[in-house]
A and B are shown apart, each in its own frame.
Chain A
Amino acid sequence: MTGSLTSLTLAETRDSLARKAFSARELTESYIAAVEATRPLNAFITETPERALAMAEASDQRLARGEARPLDGIPIAVKDLYCTKGVLTTAASHILDGFRPPYESTVTEKLWQAGAVMLGKANLDEFAMGSSSTTSYYGPVENPWRRPGDNCPLVPGGSSGGSAVAVAARAALAATGTDTGGSIRQPASFCGIVGLKPTYGRCSRWGVVAYASSLDQPGPMTRTVRDAAIMLRGMAGHDPKDSTSAPVPVPDYEEALTGDIRGLRIGIPLEYRAHGMNMEIENLWYRAAGWLAEAGAEIIYDISLPHTKYALPTYYIIAPAEASSNLARYDGVRFGLRVEGSTLDEMYELTRAAGFGAEVRRRVLIGTYVLSAGYYDAYYLKAQRVRALIALDFNQAFEQVDCILAPTAPSAAFAIGEKSDDPVEMYLNDVFTVPANLAGLPAISVPAGLSADGLPLGLQIIGRAFDEEGVLRVAEALEHAAQFRHLPGFIAGGR
């Protein structure tokens, strides 16, 4: 029974709960068992089975009264970057040791109000800084996929790697992620699931541990595009507590999934080919353009986003700069780790040296440098000017097209430890995802095929600001055409 319950999609599960085919409690018990079975992959930092059962029972009562809410009884994983009241919140960092927030993030509060059930807090790269989920203080996350005939453990991508693994291994129906430079979309691609980064301002950042505030955006990770539409509706909406949250209405995203993309203009950006692209990814990309054309879309080849090659270096100035400022609050005074020192400065220095891992330190140091007197104009202001050009590239492209089709990542999942020696090589993973963050645009990764060595490859749809409906509609058409039915070798809940 376990296998059949956890193999349903979120939409199917919701409909089955409404028909009383099984109870929320039965469902949650299956998922709790699946979470336990997933422990070898290290996808969760904290499991919350008791809370999950209590939430499921509350859902069952509402379902019995005919007062079901949109996500009643749906078991989800929460990236451990979202503050959850009274539940350990670590950001995968030693420096947040023992931190139990006295408040709940806006997005998770909305999800609980909608009836969702919390299975636990998902592992990630420390402070969401990484593309491999190997920098966690709680140890690396492992991808449920392996190359057939090869036992080498692979990374799930990052930073929302634990969230992606929980969904891919069927240990959660959906998960929250956050995407600053690709942290939802790249792990979704590596794990064969759907990951949606909404428009900047669509979901509140309040209560989400900040990495780079002008880029961070919460979003859903799911097994299907429809599930992403359902989750996004539960997460989105204006929040007065986040001054960058957009005061715009939240549509019913599921209604946008009409299956009709006739006449939509879809652009293929010329410059995305210029990065020494892997042939099988390029082939998949062009095959997908053909699928969308068959579905009635108009494919516009060789649209230009001329500043694409500068997006990554721009990101690696702006994000560390904002991070160095945001992470200044971790000082050992009010919460988390403290290493005692004889002076206040010594306490700060020893606490931060012990509390931050190598990649976080590197980014805080880079950020401190590019914001320091004498270098601010040359690095930080320069990057902000190039960022304006990158955003302008997209504005101009969207005069010609309705959305853009591109690869999500330059490769399939790589081995744990493979790119850890060279920071810049690791940064190159984000080459196709970072531009949407700099421009604040919605973008979704959809599993579209397998690599020659049997690993999932995602493709990305990038849309106009606040046009998640258009992005989801095209993504569903892509999903329908790709017919991606492959499953990872490791399925916690059974097949």
Chain B
Amino acid sequence: MALDKAAVAHIAFLARIRLSETELEPLADELSQILTWVEQLNEVDTTEVAPMASVAASSLPTREDRVTDGDCREAILGDAPRTVPSGTDRGFFTVPKVVE
């Protein structure tokens, strides 16, 4: 599979990584090279094979639904990026305005 610049720009938007125009061409080449290389898997007949998501036991353990942690708002907000105006001193993470 060869990816062109437009395809790379679209993937980069899906991944929320801003790429400059000059980065698109070399990345298209690198990613195409990697994809071409992994496509050798098409040689393997897997028609009767179920996909394997993990080697761990397939059933997830369950537990009683109760609170085991919490009351640590300040510790968590302590890592928040410093912004102006800051919401962290009022118990919030701040982000750019998302509703008009």
Contact = CB atoms under 8 A, between A and B. Distances in A.
Given A345-B16, A350-B18, A385-B49, A316 B38 contact: yes
A353 B17 contact: yes
A334 B63 contact: no
Interface string A383-402: 11111110100000000000
B96 interface: yes
In the complex, which of the residues A100, A200, A368, A440 has the most CB atoms of chain B within 10 Å of its own CB atom?
A368
Nearest to A355: B17
Interface stretch (A141-149, A182-190, A240-248): A240-248
Interface in A232-252: 240, 243-244, 246-247
Size category of the binding interface on chain A:
35 or more
A8 interface: no
B55 A100 contact: no
Interface in A384-440: 384-389, 391, 423-424, 439-440
Interface string B1-37: 0010000100111111111000000010011011101
A477 B41 CA distance: 37
Nearest to B52: A388
Contacts of B55: 200-201, 214, 391, 439-440, 465
Interface string B39-57: 1111110100111111111
B60 interface: yes
A98 B41 CA distance: 41
Contact of B34 (A201, A316, A332, A381): A316
Contacts, number: 161
A385 B30 contact: no
Contacts of B79: 98-102, 334-336
A175 interface: no
B14 A349 contact: no
A314 B61 contact: no
A217 to B, nearest CB: 10
B17 A356 contact: yes
Given A102-B79, A423-B34, A352 B16 contact: yes
Q: Tell me if B's interface is mostly helix, strand, loop or mixed.
A: loop
A275 interface: no
A344 interface: yes
A12 interface: no
A387 B93 CA distance: 41
Contact of A364 (B17, B39, B46, B93): B17
A356 B16 CA distance: 11
A201 B30 CA distance: 34
Contacts of B52: 384-385, 387-388, 391
In the complex, which of the residues B54, B57, B98 has the most CB atoms of chain A within 10 Å of its own CB atom?
B54
B37 A362 contact: no
A246 B56 contact: yes
A365 B49 contact: no
A440 B38 CA distance: 21
A21 to B, nearest CB: 41
Contacts of B33: 423-424
A56 interface: no
A387 B40 CA distance: 14
A338 interface: yes
Nearest to B81: A338
Contact of A353 (B19, B38, B76): B19
B42 A382 contact: yes
B72 interface: yes
B46 A385 contact: yes
B18 A368 contact: no
Given A246-B56, A336-B81, A389 B38 contact: no
22 contacts: A98-B79, A100-B78, A101-B79, A102-B79, A244-B56, A310-B40, A313-B41, A316-B34, A316-B37, A332-B81, A334-B80, A336-B81, A338-B81, A340-B83, A343-B98, A365-B8, A365-B17, A365-B31, A368-B11, A386-B46, A388-B50, A424-B34
Given A240-B63, A336-B81, A344-B96, 14 more contacts: A98-B79, A310-B43, A316-B34, A316-B38, A334-B80, A341-B96, A349-B17, A356-B17, A366-B34, A366-B35, A368-B15, A384-B52, A385-B46, A386-B46
